[in-house]
Amino acid sequence: MYTRIFTLLLSVGLLAGFQHSPDEGKGRILYNQLGYINYAPKLLLVSEDVGLVRFLDGDGKEVLAVKPAAAQFWEASGTAVRKVDFSSLTVPGRYTVVAPGAKEQPAITISSAPYHKLARSVMKAFYLNRAGMPIVEQYAGKWARPAGHPDTLVYVHPSAAGPIRKAGSVISSPLGWYDAGDYNKYIVNSAIATYILFKALEDFPAYYRKLNLNIPETGKGAPDILAEAMHNYRWMLSMQDPADGGVYHKLTNKLFDEVVMPDKATKERYVVMKSTAATLDFAAVAAHASQTLKPYGKAYPGLAAESLEKAEKAWIWALQHPDVIYIQPGDIKTGAYGDRYLKDEFFWAAAELYLATGKQEYADAIIRYYMKPATPEWAVVQGLGFMSLISAYDKLPVPVKNTGLKADFMSHVDKLVAISLSSPYGVSIQKFAWGSNSYVANEGMLKLFMFQMTADQKYYRSALSDLDYILGRNATGYCFVTGYGDKQVMHIHHRPSQADGIPEPLPGFLAGGPNMDTFSDCPPETLRARLPAISYVDLECSYSTNEIAINWNAPLVYLAGGVDK
């Protein structure tokens, strides 16, 4: 029945440009291509025409047979699937999946720690994307490269000029991570990514204190995840104007660089316009850093106190300039990261500043800017404030507790879990926008955080299901993390991966994933599905589906590490 519906849609042109046949989904087996934890829930998907599913051990002996659940149709993919729950298979090993009508007989792995290499790799990707320093063979292997963009000579753009730092004056703003597939650096995106790395360390301290990333800072007094976050955080600190506390929105070329290696991209760089969003995001991260860094005073002397001072100065600027929306200057053509709604930024900054200072003015601001939680995105950040406040819930004043923040947050995550339980693919994603895979990772992060707070297994199971989706149990069949899986993403929109002459992309990056936001990034003859969950192509030109970004990797760090711990 579902195949007939799919064929009808194709015939009336609703799937114009679809590059597969209507029978593409028949006989498929969708599974986590890295493996399953032996003691945890295990689920794979088969198409509606697949019957009994058998699991064979290394000797070809059947160890389990499972009748799939009834078929469920997913409008987002245009196909129906049947769930196969094989949680009862707990003995570690490699198993072949056999099913009548299936096109393939994939091998799956069950082990006690299938995600350890992955967790390390998605964190190591930040090192591989560093600006301002050489990426050397000792730490990067064949992906070593010369340093690019020292950013020690950066011009103040006219939009960012002030009484002291006039247009054309020169500042130094080194370090940081390249934001995505391009070579620019953006405060609003850096803020959410840096915060999530800080939070991962705080929520899983024993795990991350031991995790060895093999980076230049390894063994030098701070956990590697903190040392990596600090490479970007130190750049963020340099983006504050010391004269007034406002924060520049981004550091960028006037135009995107061509597809060249970082050291070959030598165009003039600018800090562009101060914005309220950037300044509040900066204030939130700096206030949070002031607490994160306290146990590591020997590694970062004086930086905790400096961070809090800078955070409060940024807050004052934001109060004085509450609605300075970033507007792209006419001669700047790089990513805008414009955000016209700022209540969530005020809430997040107030939350972090209260937790860092205990001052009544920030408690009052939490109440004044209170809003219902939402899954984090770079422009939707109140959920980050909720995570910090709930982590310190017992220390909050009664009026802040009376906002209902704990119940509201739990209600939001419970809704996500409920959606995943009824979803044909076992996930809660409802919006296939640009970077759809990051929505899955962020929802998984919230669920895992809730599991940390409550020990309720329903949150853990749903978070694990989100990870399954990212690693192959999705409608495209791709494992969306570079360097991993049986069906790998090979052609990400990422300048170093495109220009280095190495066939494989840099490992550990989460590809953006399917969406229908734009079809104009690749040549017109490129065929792409017109259904959201399968509208994806593994092509370098497809920045809309195959770019990478630091704020997409960060929640995957939290999710993969939190599951691996």
Instruction: Point out the catalytic residue in the list 228, 493, 521, 540.
Output: 493
- Containing H/E element for 2? helix 2-11
Give the separation between CA 351 and CA 373, rounded to whole angstroms: 13
Q: How far does Cα 552 stand from its chain's mean position?
A: 2
182 labelled catalytic: yes
DSSP one-letter string for 155-200 = EE-GGG--SSS-TT-EE-----B--SSSS-EEHHHHHHHHHHHHHH
Do 56 and 400 meet the contact criterion of CB atoms below 8 Å apart? no
Question: What contacts 338, CB < 8 A, 6 or more positions away?
Answer: 325, 326, 327, 328
Active site annotation includes 493: yes
Is 85 among the residues known to form the active site? Answer: no
Q: Write the CA distances from 263 to 96, 183, 260, 269, integer angstroms.
A: 46, 11, 8, 14
Closest CA to 66 of 95, 38, 92: 95
User: Of 228, 244, 352, 547, which is the active-site residue?
Assistant: 547
Distance, in Å, from the CA atom of 454 to the CA atom of 543, rounded to the nearest integer, reads 39
The helix/strand/coil state of 477 is coil
- The answer to whether the CB of 109 falls within 8 A of the CB of 94 is yes
Spatial separation of the C-alpha atoms in residues 121 and 138, rounded to whole Å? 15
Distance separating alpha carbons of residues 62 and 59, to the nearest angstrom: 9
Contact 484, 513 (CB under 8 A): no
CA-based nearest residue to 250, from 175, 326, 158: 326
d(CA 306, CA 435): 34
Q: What is the layout of strands, in order, in the sheet containing 79-85? A: 29-30, 43-47, 79-85, 72-74
Query: Going by C-beta distance under 8 Å and a sequence separation of 6 or more, which residues neighbour residue 247?
Result: 187, 239, 240, 241, 274, 275, 278, 279, 281, 282, 314, 317
Number of H helices, E strands in the chain: 18, 14
Chain centroid, CA 26 distance in Å:
31
Instruction: Determine the longest span between alpha carbons in the chain, in angstroms.
Output: 78
Nearest-Å Rg of the Cα atoms of the chain is 24
Say if strands 93-98 and 107-111 run parallel, antiparallel, or are unpaired: antiparallel
Write down the catalytic residue from 48, 182, 344, 443: 182
- Token reading at 370: 């209170």
Round to whole Å and give the CA distance between 519 and 505.
23
User: What b-and-e string marks burial along 465-478, b requiring 16 or more CB atoms within 10 Å of the CB?
Assistant: bbbbbbbbbbbbbb
Q: How many other CB atoms are there within 10 angstroms of residue 39's CB atom?
A: 10
| Residue numbers annotated as active site | 182, 493, 538, 547
